[in-house]
Amino acid sequence: MQTKSFSRNLYRLFTIAFLLILVGVSCSPAALVATPVQTVVVVPQVITQVVTQIVYVPVTITPTPTVYTTDTPTITPIPSNTPTVSSTPPTTTPTNQPPLVTVLVNTECLFGPDPAYIGMTEIKSGSQEIAIGRSQDTGWLYVQGADHKTPCWIKTALAKAINGVFTDAPVATPVLTPYTSAYPPPPAVSTTRTGNSVSIFWLPVAMSQADYNGYLIEAWVCQGGKLVFVPKSYVTSYDKNSKMMAIAITDEPGCSQPSSARIYTVTTTAYSSPKNVLPWPPAPTPTPATPTITPTP
């Protein structure tokens, strides 16, 4: 019993002592609060100092260079309703292929682009021909067909183009070959000029009456300010004793190219070799008009 009483008393003493300690602690709040306040203040100061040293002292920052692009932006223009008008007229490129034509009527195909030439062959209506050439004014076509290997000339009005146009054919110069060797060209050819008229003279060639068909002059002369091709036929009644012959051709000043001519002896079926008409008299230099000055009243 005494032991139990002693234990109880000892327990009470410990309890009272513990309560006294608690009371003493609760009565001194200032001492308990001071320590955490000091700790809270010190910690942020240390953190702030360390962060400042890391950012500004040991770190070296290298600036990154600025890159500029050289690409030019593509600007898409706004379409306009106003049509664009070109000041340059469109050009037409002729085809390289000569046109194919149909002959409309039976016609005589000549040695050259003028009635002054004799006939070479006859072409039937409906015949298809290749126009391998044309005259300067496109009034005549230089044609070749299956029924005649040698080309000859027909009037453009007597043909119809099947493909292409007549101007697709190049400008051609008459070719009177094959030349006949039966007769020579005219001898003693000479010229004289009176103003814009050039006269060509020659002596006749001795020919049989059956072969005689006169003479042909092909001239390139200045007319209207440009060089033009002028063929002329000279046929008289047959006279084996005839003397000097002559023909006149108009040749005006005003062209940069010189004028010229050639002459042939003509039979009923062929031409002699040509002979150049030399010298060709130059055109006179035009005299400038003297201006009329009207006095001022």
DSSP secondary structure of 26-93: HT-HHHHHHHHHHHHHHHHHHHHHHHHHHHHSS--PPPPPPP---PPPP--PPP-SSPP--SSPPP-P
Least confident residue range of 64-73, 169-178, 211-220: 64-73
Stretch 64-79: mean pLDDT: 49
Q: CB under 8 Å to 158, separation ≥6 — which residues? A: 103, 104, 105, 107
Q: What is the mean pLDDT of the chain?
A: 79
Stretch 53-64: mean pLDDT: 48
Contact between 117 and 111 (Cβ < 8 Å): yes
User: Tell me, what amino acid is at 88?
Assistant: T
Q: Could you give all domains of the chain from N- to C-terminal order, each with its CATH number?
A: 100-168 (2.30.30.40), 190-276 (2.60.40.10)
E strand or H helix at 275: strand 275-276
pLDDT single digits (tens) 243-288: 899 999 999 999 999 999 999 999 999 999 999 999 999 988 866 6
3-state secondary structure of 9: helix
pLDDT tier, 295 (very low <50, low <70, confident <90, very high otherwise) = low
Residue of higher predicted confidence among 93 and 208: 208
Stretch 125-136: mean pLDDT: 95
Cα-Cα-Cα-Cα dihedral sign, residues 177, 143, 277, 212: positive
Q: Using alpha carbons, select from 152, 209, 218, 228 the residue that is nearest to residue 185.
A: 218
pLDDT tier, 154 (very low <50, low <70, confident <90, very high otherwise) = very high
pLDDT at position 240 = 81
What's the rounded Cα separation, in Å, for the pair 96 and 164? 10
pLDDT tier, 230 (very low <50, low <70, confident <90, very high otherwise) = very high
What's the rounded Cα separation, in Å, for the pair 206 and 184? 9
pLDDT at position 9 = 65
Stretch 20-48: mean pLDDT: 46
Q: Per-residue pLDDT for 22 more than 60?
A: no
Q: Which of 19-23, 54-58, 176-180, 186-190 has the highest mean pLDDT?
A: 186-190
The dihedrals phi and psi of 13, each to the nearest 5 degrees, come to -65, -45
Q: CB under 8 Å to 114, separation ≥6 — which residues? A: 140, 231
pLDDT tier, 55 (very low <50, low <70, confident <90, very high otherwise) = very low
* 235-246 CB burial, b ≥16 within 10 A, e <16: eeeeeeeeeeee
Q: Per-residue pLDDT for 152 more than 60?
A: yes
What's the rounded Cα separation, in Å, for the pair 142 and 96? 16
Count the helices and strands in the chain (H runs, E runs). 2, 14
